[in-house]
Structure 1
């Protein structure tokens, strides 16, 4: 009957499309976990739907690298603490499920520190299912009525799928059902989902995809693995239960298929037909997963878990009844849901032994993932061709095809806002923000079968027509199927054949009755043939009507499509016009932006020049003010200096004139005395009378001034030194007291043995005593004097202005010879008349005197008579 309707058409092959060169960045989303009641301080704030800000915790200081300053990080979307699981699924996972049903791969993994909510995001909780059960629910809601029967698709153990016909699939189903359970299985085999987790798969929104290929059949396979200590273990593997010597699970190895895609060799793939069955398989593997209690998390994942949902689809034949048996027409896509173990620090978890080893392997695999991301980012940004170290970890080696362009990659960064996790959250944010810069090649669309669409619908209509006719007969009997009932309806119309056994030669009833029944069966067969031809004609007429309706509809659709094509052509022309206009505007915008940039640079340059000129002017003004102040000080100082110099010169001139006048007066008096004494002729008195006469004291003759007396230093006048000025008398401990007449005496002075800043702050003048041996072996004392000035920085400085020299000398040798004869020497304090007889001797008497104006305060002038020549 089916061959009479329409001959089967061979499938039309469509050449594969070239891979797309377009790239999409890795989608990174951030989810903030609610703060627990015990944690009062929060260090993460959601700024807007794409930005979060990290605050340093209280008492934490920023280092020189700025790691503890307030920083902001941007993601594709940020989900706050009030976001539900459904909202997260609609944004992140729903596009990946749609791609899987359309034949494209997808990878979704959660990343974050331990206790940040990764497992909750992936699995969920009772009453609030996570991403995994929602993905399963969406897949089965979309392909529920288009699923193939069990064992139509069969894994080839090499990351591929084979397709079987209905007969082989039925035989395998019967074989599996009749196979005895000889080997005892683990208790994992006959369990059901715990009631407390049944609400996880009770998804009320019934999300599904409307645009599903109705001319294809689908089948879902799931597998569940974990990567523990860089080894891969199958969580769904059934192992014999040996209570005496239990066999440890065997690790799996990674292999590469003929398309250079990585897969896990020998991994169990379970075919499931509903969300409940798939989640039951997941929960069986979840109970085998390695978890442990740490100081940071009561149920901390000690391994990376990977739940793989593999969807196989193949088109129906031209009649819409059976699956095409060509392997090339099978499309296999998979969605990998990865729950990464949390990174942790051993100084916080206090891990030891196995926990320490597990933490080290977890951190090492996450570090390898970060290194691969960094190398991919560097290769794309800098144009380098460095080798990405995928093989350093089983985690990165398994998913390297996704980063090479075999599917979309999505990452959910889970963070805990408590202050204790601030350091770890900072590192997670940096890695997530860097991951966004990696671009993954967009996968090319896989070709579909080129048969006429609507095959399943026509086959369903034919079956409904046969069912209607069967119902008119009374429906199937004794639980038989619809197809069997239609066949029985045709067979039961014939009368049964009687027994043809001849026991008697005279039997004349068996053969006539057989002939009658056969004639009746012939007539019924002819009638059924006529009925069949009539039905065929009516069915052909119905098909012609349907074809006419379809043709009319196709014509109508063709007219609509022609109209739409015109609209599309007009819209394309409009779009081209708009694109040209956009290009023109973009060109103008570029010119304006360049002009703006030039003006801004010129403005910035002018502002910098203006600022530099302003600073230069300010410096010049300050230099000018300092120069004016300095010149004014120099003018004042020179004025005071010349005023003092004039006073000193006037005083020196006055003193010189007075000394000259005094010298003339003295010379006149001496000459007068000499003349008067020479003219007197007095008799010589005896010695006794001479002794009785009163001794006349020797006159104190003022010393004759030195002809070339240096000018008097007006700065050391007695009138000034005797005032309110205070002196610092600096006399080193090694100085000797000379006990001379000319010993300086400074009243009201501060005597110090070493330089003292406090003494200088209290005084105006300074004197340093220095002693040394002269060239002739005599002791020479120098008094170095100076003025004390205050400096701008608040200190004191000394400017030396004068040096006074005191020197002790022994008497001449001639006088020592004259004193050696005591009989000839007159008594001390007396002068003989012979000593003063000649004018030469008397006129040679002189007084040696130094200028007293340079000796400082407290000095007294002493007359020292010169000895007469022998």
Structure 2
């Protein structure tokens, strides 16, 4: 397929034909873009430019097509001359070429252009690909690498890169034997230009996609000649099985075309025939080139290989020096195949015609003497002629008798042969009937399996769609989770700021409250100091004599005038108090804000139910109510009030409390009291008056 140095093969010639024809009409790179479903889309100029810039930014070095340095291994196989081109090329269209290269190894499909990750410690084996059917019912390899190329050299370089990955092995007959079938696929995309001829129309319906597949089939092998063992034996079995499936498909197609039958073609028996199912069904053309070896020891294999692309009706083989013809099956001799060996200088015979069997038969008779009579008295010519004719007559009778015997023997042989053929035909008919039943069962099983495969493919498609939906939901949920986590983080930060702010406000409030308490204390002390100063600075009068007690007793005390009677206030009706000996129960209501004091006198109520908030249930079980209330006095000390009341039932069936009296508990500092002492000097001097007060609280 690649040819030899100096003489390019089928592949370089096909590539040269394509690029010589569409060279000036090629679209810019990445204008055409293949999708994952065996289709093609058209990108705008801006999108193609961005794609080119992105590819150029990659670290892989790119060599321009005009300055490409060819590999010396295949440089001689490419002919740069423009000798072949297509004449009728539409100039109002643009074209793009894509190539891909796959191999079918042990009935598995592998991508030869796939870049596997480099791992010298544990190399990853290549992954097999699967066949899919697109919306136009064309078969394609899913996930196959397709490269856009712009020249014959670039396309052949891509082919050569994949050719190095192809599986080959050493056998007894071939040092580099192909162990797989390779398929080099060339796709040609064609799209029309707009009315101005500047831009490509981005209508998918206007795009035409053509495909050329060049297949290099591995040769059939005989184990007794190749001495294959282990993996080589398994590879040879898969190769022969795929070739046999290909031959079976061709024979069934030919039978359906000749006799109008509708037999099922077993495409699915092999990945090779399944891939090219559309070509055999009439949506393409198939051409097969058979390579045979002229050696005599390879005659049988050459004969078997020659039966692949042609109907096995009549096969003619031309060899130097003789003509060999053999009929394999009964039927019309259509599509004769002629093999010649130009190396031996032999072609169709053009020399003198060979004598026919009749001429050879007449030449075996004795020759006739001359019949010319030159003299009337000639008595020798006629006797010689009569003798020759008699000899010929005797020979003719002998030949006739021998021919009659041969005819009888041949008739007997034919009768025996007919009887044997009839018996064999009956036997074959029975076998064929059994085979037909087996084939019918297998066909029904295949139809069932095909339906099952279609159902599974449909389920797989549904699962893929479901997985896509789940992936989108997962992404949406992840985005929502991220947004909520960000919101929670913002709320936590706001909460921390608010807590810090509240702590600051609490500290500020407590400081303010302490400041106000200090100011109140200072104000009280200032007032006291002012009063003391007023008393101290007041002018003193003469101190009267202190009367003795006897004089005081003697003096009659004047009766004070009684005040005028005040208007009598309405007296509240007295309520009957319950006896304390009757076992009273109290509700001790202490709010949660109650601050414990360290005083010796603590309110202690026997048989009390302590609550933080009064409830109807607690009031119904008790007779008395006690509320403990704390407040700040004017001197800054805590003052506790015990508010007592009676509990009684209301007309509506509820509980009410009527307060009766209040008890006050107050804690004072002893340093705040004023004590007066007797002065030793009664001199009322202004400066000495300050010494009369011995215990005065100062700031």
Q: TM-score, normalised by structure 2?
A: 0.43
* TM-score, scaled relative to structure 1: 0.35
Q: Which has the higher contact order (CA 8 A, sep 6+)?
A: 1
